[in-house]
Structure 1
């Protein structure tokens, strides 16, 4: 008998609103994740006491663990701590580094995990991937998706604006990543998952077309939902393809060649715009998309050129040349055009002129 449907794993609950952290105990009980509150609450730097003040009284049996996450070593250390007690679940509260560290530790020891995001810097909020520093690189590891996802807009608002801008760049890069996936399908016959594409693209399109900004709760809710659905899109198809193409290759190359250049999402935004420029240079049908992405990045105050990232044109061209080595199995516009270093230098110069 043919398989007519497929089962898709998703979180039991997604809660995006102001004051969401204060409702954590009720969520754990209502969703039968932990009726008695016997959970580990992993908190990132700088937020410990505020978190305890908000939820400590309602989760009297919880153990609060403060970490400086983001590395494989910190995730392994956290896992060892979690083994010492029989928890119903582990709750990761913080930014991307804290959540990825908690996701990895929870997955390693088979403990249900709840993701509570206090920033919107990337799509790791609900993704099946944890990116952790190790041996001078930032490899990605497969993990279980969170059992529940919470985004507290009060915490997001109190955080650095740059984190939100990074999340905008990360979301917009979906457009370029999907174009790369579709290119790989046309040229190499690589299968494309239409449901994953629909989820990742709809979030990006919503961000592109929403008139608000980081001061608008409606826009921030939409951005959070776009980052969450992007993570779920990756879980659906079992690959980062819906959100990672040449745009991310360029970002990974910058992390290797020019570490500390900018936030991940900022680099991905520039990478997406440059890759879209390359597509438009060989197919004029992409010119409106280039103009659209350029305008959106500008409106939200995101970097658009190498100079905006503090790089020279040559430094950026070096990163683009190196980029395909970061994902040898991935076919994108960069591999498709296979430009020489001298050709890349000319394209980068022309790109900077086109942006302005």
Structure 2
């Protein structure tokens, strides 16, 4: 009897823990990553420079490329610079989400594997097959291969501003809302749901949602880091962002487009969007738990917490479905009028405050 299975796209190495950066040179010397030590590092001009000083002595075969921002132009420039220099074994993105997204895109463009070395836990794109890059029309999502290796040093994460950890929490727990939207779409539209991707993303979100620890605990940071990695792998399995992106992300994208100079962090916005979406589903107890966990970790539960009025939030929810044409979520299902959204928000705010 043949064993039927499928290959899951995932990193060959995942190293999460305190002091993980100290083992980076040995990890990169893995025959599956870089036998020769010829590596192209993409770094920021801030914290990346300090890490370069720390790592350069043990990585003599590396070249270091400074990335100025998270735009498609920077990603193309990095690819051109790498291609014109010498033959490398891999591209290493060392930094936050913007640096890693630029490095993923550049590596794909030149046909090299990519290693993600994250310095914060702001969102679930660290290990995903997607690069989010700014372009002339705002912001675009670009399909890329997933990282071949993932390194997260909790000591480095803890040294970064705590707002990055909070953002990652919002992104991780929003998976639960995104999966509810995916399953709703299967019921209403017949959309296919990848059960493995859904299980992985939901488990990741639940692990963070129900963990008793806080942003300063190593155990909690480990669970959060693992959840963000698993979310990225879930997206690789499904071939798109569906396991981690539903109404919560539509609302966040609406904030970005309608209020580009005032938008909060991605995780703050999707966490708030997820709590509201759960309320729209009539999941009162679950919505209350979302709000409780968001408050516990210092994330917003109401738009006023991030400087937006109720009317501005209503406008964002009303606009949200336009940000992902063809994606079916609770927002498309209910198809609420502006007045109905306003009433739903008033009920949500009353529930959250009580």
User: For residue 20 of structure 1, what is the aligned residue in structure 2?
Assistant: 20
2:336 aligned with 1:354: no
2:258 aligned with 1:261: no
Unaligned runs of 5+ in 1: 281-285
| Counterpart Cα distance in 1 of 2:171 and 2:48 | 27
1:221-242 per-residue CA deviation (whole Å, 9 max, x = no partner) reads 1100000000000000112111
| Counterpart Cα distance in 2 of 1:102 and 1:69 | 11
2:90 aligned with 1:89: yes
1:32-72 per-residue CA deviation (whole Å, 9 max, x = no partner) reads 31123110111123123321232211111110111123100
User: For residue 70 of structure 2, what is the aligned residue in structure 1?
Assistant: 70
Match of 2:318 among 309, 318, 321: 321
| Counterpart Cα distance in 1 of 2:45 and 2:297 | 27
Deviates most, 239-248 or 32-41: 32-41
| Counterpart Cα distance in 1 of 2:52 and 2:291 | 42
| Counterpart Cα distance in 1 of 2:142 and 2:130 | 6
Matches within 5 A, 1:329-344: 329-344=326-341
Q: CA RMSD in A?
A: 1.3
3-state DSSP of counterpart to 1:30: coil
User: For residue 231 of structure 1, what is the aligned residue in structure 2?
Assistant: 232
Contact 1:21 1:54 in 2 (8 A): no
User: For residue 242 of structure 1, what is the aligned residue in structure 2?
Assistant: 243
Contact 2:48 2:95 in 1 (8 A): no
User: For residue 253 of structure 2, what is the aligned residue in structure 1?
Assistant: 252
User: For residue 287 of structure 1, what is the aligned residue in structure 2?
Assistant: 284
3-state DSSP of counterpart to 2:235: helix
1:189-230 per-residue CA deviation (whole Å, 9 max, x = no partner) reads 101111001110111111111111111000001100000000
| Counterpart Cα distance in 1 of 2:3 and 2:303 | 49
| Counterpart Cα distance in 1 of 2:49 and 2:7 | 40
Output the TM-score relative to the length of structure 1: 0.96
Output the TM-score relative to the length of structure 2: 0.97
Deviates most, 241-250 or 67-76: 67-76
1:217-269 per-residue CA deviation (whole Å, 9 max, x = no partner) reads 00001100000000000000112111000000000000000113200010000
User: For residue 49 of structure 2, what is the aligned residue in structure 1?
Assistant: 49
1:62-88 per-residue CA deviation (whole Å, 9 max, x = no partner) reads 101111231001101101011012101
Contact 1:172 1:207 in 2 (8 A): yes
Q: How many residues align?
A: 351
Contact 2:11 2:150 in 1 (8 A): yes
3-state DSSP of counterpart to 2:290: helix
How many Å apart are 1:346 and its aligned residue?
A: 1.4
Contact 2:43 2:95 in 1 (8 A): yes
1:265-292 per-residue CA deviation (whole Å, 9 max, x = no partner) reads 1000000000001001xxxxx2221121
| Counterpart Cα distance in 1 of 2:131 and 2:30 | 27
| Counterpart Cα distance in 2 of 1:208 and 1:174 | 10
How many Å apart are 1:3 and its aligned residue?
A: 8.1
User: For residue 272 of structure 1, what is the aligned residue in structure 2?
Assistant: 274
User: For residue 163 of structure 1, what is the aligned residue in structure 2?
Assistant: 164
3-state DSSP of counterpart to 1:190: coil
| Counterpart Cα distance in 2 of 1:123 and 1:113 | 16
Contact 1:22 1:54 in 2 (8 A): no
| Counterpart Cα distance in 2 of 1:32 and 1:54 | 24
Matches within 5 A, 1:210-225: 210-225=211-226
Unaligned runs of 5+ in 2: none
How many Å apart are 1:6 and its aligned residue?
A: 1.0
User: For residue 283 of structure 1, what is the aligned residue in structure 2?
Assistant: none
User: For residue 185 of structure 2, what is the aligned residue in structure 1?
Assistant: 184
| Counterpart Cα distance in 1 of 2:29 and 2:297 | 39
| Counterpart Cα distance in 1 of 2:312 and 2:210 | 32
| Counterpart Cα distance in 2 of 1:38 and 1:185 | 47
User: For residue 114 of structure 2, what is the aligned residue in structure 1?
Assistant: 113
User: For residue 123 of structure 1, what is the aligned residue in structure 2?
Assistant: 124
| Counterpart Cα distance in 2 of 1:74 and 1:148 | 22
